[in-house]
Structure 1
Amino acid sequence: MKVRGRRECKECGTRWSYYDTGEIACPGCGSLHSVGTDDERSLHTATAATLDLSPVRNAIDEQPTRRLAERAVERCREFTGGYGFIRSGSLQPLDDTYLAAMELRHVAGELTRRMDSTDDEELYFTTLLRADEGERPAVEEVPDPLRAMRGLAYANAVKEYRSDLRRYLEEHPDPVVGDILERLGDHTKRIRALDGDVAPRAVESLVESARDIGRYLSSGEESALAAAESRLDELA
């Protein structure tokens, strides 16, 4: 949506940024009556949501894995639901915190459905609980039974990022990107159709392709677009 994010309350005069708070109510008096002070409306899809997994981490020695997984799913769902990548008209990158949170949401969801899990799976799950610190496990750390969970999580993340890339292009048309963005969408659909059951490095290439396209659109770096095309060629 396009909004005037800098607001001034009509009741008490408090000024705040919707971009920072995500709230239309005045932080000073709670009034819903305000005016935008920006000259123009800006495209904005980002949320002010933050991810805090410390309560789950702190309970590792006290609660069973299944209960920890349930709590992790809930927190990651709140964080990733409605997440956006355009802030006040500026395109943001596909960041590691979002990717790790998406993966944790899928992995934890899988563990809640199981009667038991292996030591490797539980160790990987606890590693993912660092998602709020921007930590994302390396490709070689993914246990085989959870490989599809990572693949599906990343493909879903790229799908959401691609949607915002398309929104951004509506404001900043660039005919060069169209074909590459369609190819990114085709590969994303294929991986999702396979429920993420592809090689982890293939999914990593998908993520990096999306990031390359985003970097090109936000900075005009032509080498980034070439890199995206090369990565997609390898996925073909």
Structure 2
Amino acid sequence: MNIRGDRECKSCGTRWSYYDTGSVECPECGSLRSVGVDDRTEHTDAPVELDLTPLRSRVDETTTEELAAEVATTCREYTRKRGFIDAGQLQPLDETYVAAVELGAVAAALARRARPSDEAELYFLDLLGGADRGERPGHKAVPEAFRTAFGLAMADAVDSYQRDVRSYLDDHSDDHARRLSGRLRDHRKRIEALDGDVDPADANRLMHAARDLGRYVAGDENAAVTAENWLSGLERDRT
């Protein structure tokens, strides 16, 4: 959305940045009556953090299924508030966001299983242990039980990121970026059509292609080459 991020309270005159607080409420007096004092700028992100510490502390206090359901809800709440344009600048597809999307999908899948395998439970706990620091086990460690959850998670993360990339490109036109984005969209839709049932290596390539597309759009010329390489890898696997 396009907003005036620098705010001035009409009640007490306090100035603050919506980009920092994510709220139009005056931090000094609580008034909701404020005006923007800068130009409108594209902004989709929010100042929200993922903190899984309270959930990790409950590992020994509840069943895995109950814990997984709570983790899935927490991750959904976090990712729903996140965006990738901050005060007009396109941000990276960061590992914390990707880890949160994966953990949310894995937790939701685990919560539906009456008797999860030891392998599935350990993978979930490994993700839970580091997702809020952007740490994930990696695609080679994905258990067969979570193959589709992983594929759909990577496609979901890419879809969310691409929406902001497309919005950014509306104001910063780049034909090459749009062509790369179109190829990325086609691969994402294929994974979605297969309900995520693809080789985790391909889902991982999709995510990295989206990340490097964003780096290129944000100004790293070399990232166009690496994005192309990730996409070419996906296309070779289909031949």
With structure 2 as the length reference, what TM-score do the two structures score? 0.95
Cα deviation 1:38-60 (Å, max 9, x = unaligned): 2x111101122221111110011
Residue identity over aligned pairs, in percent, reads 52
Measure, in 2, the Cα distance between the counterparts of 1:36 and 1:187. 41
Cα RMSD, aligned residues only:
1.1
Q: Which residue of 2 aligns with 1:231?
A: 230
Residues 1:204 and 2:204 aligned together:
yes
Q: Which residue of 1 aligns with 2:76?
A: 77
Q: Which residue of 2 aligns with 1:139?
A: 139
Residues 1:114 and 2:113 aligned together:
yes
Q: Which residue of 1 aligns with 2:150?
A: 150
Measure, in 1, the Cα distance between the counterparts of 2:15 and 2:173. 33
Q: How does 1:26-41 map to 2 (within 5 A)?
A: 26-38=26-38, 40-41=39-40
Q: Contact conserved, 2:48 with 2:81, CA < 8 A, in 1?
A: no
Amino acid in structure 2 at the alignment position of 1:202:
D
Q: Which residue of 2 aligns with 1:58?
A: 57
Q: Secondary structure at the match of 1:16?
A: strand
Deviation of residue 82 (structure 1)? 4.0
Deviation of residue 81 (structure 1)? 1.0
Measure, in 1, the Cα distance between the counterparts of 2:81 and 2:134. 19
Q: How does 1:159-198 map to 2 (within 5 A)?
A: 159-198=159-198
Cα deviation 1:25-72 (Å, max 9, x = unaligned): 11222211112222x111101122221111110011111101111110
Give unmatched runs, 5+ long, in structure 2: none
Q: Which residue of 2 aligns with 1:68?
A: 67
Q: Secondary structure at the match of 2:16?
A: strand
Cα deviation 1:108-140 (Å, max 9, x = unaligned): 111111111011111111111121111122222
With structure 1 as the length reference, what TM-score do the two structures score? 0.96
Measure, in 2, the Cα distance between the counterparts of 1:191 and 1:103. 15
Cα deviation 1:164-218 (Å, max 9, x = unaligned): 1000001111122121110000000000111111111111111111111111111
Measure, in 2, the Cα distance between the counterparts of 1:143 and 1:21. 39
Q: Which moved more, 1:90-99 or 1:42-51?
A: 42-51
Q: Which residue of 2 aligns with 1:42?
A: 41
Cα deviation 1:132-162 (Å, max 9, x = unaligned): 1111222222111112111100101101101
Measure, in 2, the Cα distance between the counterparts of 1:212 and 1:224. 5
Q: Contact conserved, 2:206 with 2:230, CA < 8 A, in 1?
A: yes
Measure, in 1, the Cα distance between the counterparts of 2:164 and 2:21. 20
Q: Secondary structure at the match of 1:176?
A: helix
> Number of aligned pairs?
234
Measure, in 2, the Cα distance between the counterparts of 1:117 and 1:69. 11
Q: Secondary structure at the match of 2:62?
A: coil
Runs of 4+ in 1 over 2 A off after TM superposition: none
Measure, in 1, the Cα distance between the counterparts of 2:189 and 2:216. 22
Measure, in 2, the Cα distance between the counterparts of 1:101 and 1:107. 10
Q: Contact conserved, 2:10 with 2:34, CA < 8 A, in 1?
A: yes
Measure, in 2, the Cα distance between the counterparts of 1:73 and 1:28. 35
Q: Which moved more, 1:121-130 or 1:184-193?
A: 121-130
Measure, in 2, the Cα distance between the counterparts of 1:204 and 1:106. 15
Give unmatched runs, 5+ long, in structure 1: none
Q: Secondary structure at the match of 1:35?
A: strand
